[in-house]
Amino acid sequence: MNDQLIIFDTTLRDGEQSPGASMTRDEKLRIARQLERMKVDVIEAGFAAASNGDFESVKAVAEAIKDSTICSLARANENDIRRAGEAIRPASSGRIHTFIATSPIHMEKKLRMTPDQVVEHAVRAIRWASEYTDDIEFSAEDAGRSEIDFLCRIFEAVINAGARTINVPDTVGYNVPEQFAATIRTLIERVPNADKVVWSVHCHNDLGLAVANSLAAVQAGARQVECTVNGLGERAGNASLEEIVMAVRTRQDIFRCDTQIDTSQIVPASKLVSGITGFPVQPNKAIVGANAFAHESGIHQDGVLKHRETYEIMRAEDVGWVANKLVLGKHSGRNAFRSRLQELGVDIASEELLNHAFARFKELADKKHEIFDEDLQALMNDESSEPKEHFRLLSSSFHSETGEAPCARLTLLVGGAEASSESSGSGPVDAAFKAIEAVARSGTQLLLYSVNAITTGTDAQGEVTVRLSRDGRIVNGQGADTDIIVASAKAYLNALNKIQGGSEKMNPQI
Ligand code: KIV
Ligand code: ZN
């Protein structure tokens, strides 16, 4: 049996289907670069037919990434497959992932097709896809609730037509480990030419079993797992990449395979995805939660000090945790700044960007004497967030006094022209948002406002996430500053810039 477990990351596609997690093209590129650095085998960059924006994102990722296979999702119809094929064309290694539902309920109620028609569509889709690439994956959507005889029939047909990876999704997170493993084992035993393809699984977390089901499937012979950073994804999410990778790596005595993931890139990937989507990671989340390696009880601390392995099965540094350490200060030069960014894996696209970021670093170092890695990351997030800004904060002043309504006075750049605005509010953040809205009149609804201190200490930068919605579209904006009201205004403007530039897109599973 092959001992390589292929890691197929779908953060940019299924992950993005979480309400509120939509990402811009540049954000997707930044995540794709981090996935490449982590040595993910396959990056599902999006669903090219969903919108022009999605097509452009998949294409941009295909152009930029060299070491991972770039994949686009496509329903089993000609238009979707051709859009996917065009979008992955620039990739050094490109895959088309086509799917159709196979469960009785989906075939009858959603597709309104007979099983024969479904098989016919699937086979035709593989033929269209083969005009673009040999690397074709087929998924039987809702396989977790499909009849095993029908799965065997459709998988046999698509393998004969040229599919190389057969994916078995538990689309609605209905399965339990033993049963799911039995399904995989039966398929591998019964489907002709099963040994000519890679068997893959894609589990959703509705019952909290996505990782357990995926690992059970690996024990049954699956050699590709579809997963997302931080377990992001539709509804309760997908199987979490970090948990799959570390379970397999830590329990080599159980799993007769391993991944090629560079595990030291896991925590940076988690922080990047959380920062971009505005979805915080719960503190007790395995591997990437802030408390995942913290020992609180005296007995545990004593044990770990005497011998680390008394209470630790993994090393924090192996998954990319580094202690908050002082890295730079106001006297640090441009070269030290550049080389620390490179060590953090941050892309510096141009000298112009570096100069601009360095000037902002100096401003920050004047306000905050100790600059940590987290500060640099936040600064670079800000730097590369939205190049085509319609709204920008030029200056601000806030007034708040006991017994009086707080007031915000802002000067903004709106489409290149200066505009001033003033408003009061129930608090200074509310006043700032109202002052922005007095100019922007965006018609958006505020869904979420959250503040997080990037490092410790009262001089820490506040990182603010603002989630806005308009006409069913949801975007996240981020802003960081030592002044949390300024950070809030920046986050609000960042979200408005995204909502301005976005286009409608469809969900593949509707
Ligand atoms: O959950 C699912 O079934 C999917 C497929 C498109 C693979 O995301
Ligand atoms: Zn899915």
Q: Residue 162: how many CA atoms within 13 Å on its side-chain side?
A: 18
| Mutational pocket test of ligand 1: of 158, 202, 225, 235, the residue with most ligand atoms within 8 Å of the beta carbon | 202
Least confident of 236-245, 390-399, 465-474: 465-474
For residue 223, how far is the Cα from the chain centroid? Answer: 22
CB–CB of 228/279 below 8 Å?
no
Compute, in angstroms, the gap from residue 162 CA to the centroid of ligand 1: 20
Domains of the chain, residue spans: 3-277, 292-322, 326-383, 386-501
Question: Any idea what DSSP says for residue 389?
Answer: -
> Which atom number of ligand 1 is nearest to the Cα of residue 10?
8
> Does 125 have pLDDT greater than 90?
yes
Pocket lined around ligand 1, Cβ cut-off 6 Å? 14, 73, 99, 139, 141, 167, 169, 171, 202, 204, 508
Centroid of ligand 2 to alpha carbon of 233 (angstroms):
7
pLDDT at 1 over 70: no
Local confidence band at 296 (pLDDT 50, 70, 90 cut-offs) = low
Residue of 181, 198, 115, 194 lying closest to 149 (CA atoms): 115
Ligand 1 midpoint to CA 478 (Å)? 29
pLDDT at 385: 55
Task: Report percent pLDDT > 70 for the chain.
Answer: 96
Nearest ligand 1 atom to alpha carbon 14: 8
Ligand 1 atom nearest 226 alpha carbon: 7
How buried is 481 (Cβ within 10 angstroms: 0-12 exposed, 13-18 middle, 19+ buried)?
buried
CA of 445 to the centre of ligand 1 (A): 30
- Looking at per-residue confidence, does 228 or 306 come out higher? 228
Q: Which residues contact 115 (CB under 8 A, 6 or more apart)?
A: 107, 150, 153
- On average, the pLDDT of the chain sits at 92
CATH number of 3-277: 3.20.20.70
Measuring from atom 8 of ligand 1, which residue has the nearest CA? 14
Q: Which of 71, 204, 213, 507 to mutate to test the pocket of ligand 1 (most atoms within 8 A of CB)?
A: 204
pTM of the model: 0.88
Which atom of ligand 1 is nearest to 167's Cα?
7
CA atoms of 475 and 444, how far apart (whole Å): 10
Instruction: Tell me how far the alpha carbon of residue 203 lies from the centroid of ligand 1, in angstroms.
Output: 8
In 3D space, the residue among 59, 39, 43 whose CA is nearest the CA of residue 51 turns out to be 59
- Mean pLDDT over 2-21 rounds to 92
Is the domain spanning 386-501 CATH 2.60.40.10? The answer is no
C-alpha R_g of the chain: 24
**Poorest-pLDDT segment among 40-49, 334-343, 357-366:** 334-343
Does the structure show a pLDDT above 90 at 96?
A: yes
Structure tokens given for 343? 């060590």
Strands 371-372 and 326-328: antiparallel
Residue 200 phi, psi dihedral angles, 5° rounding: -125, 155
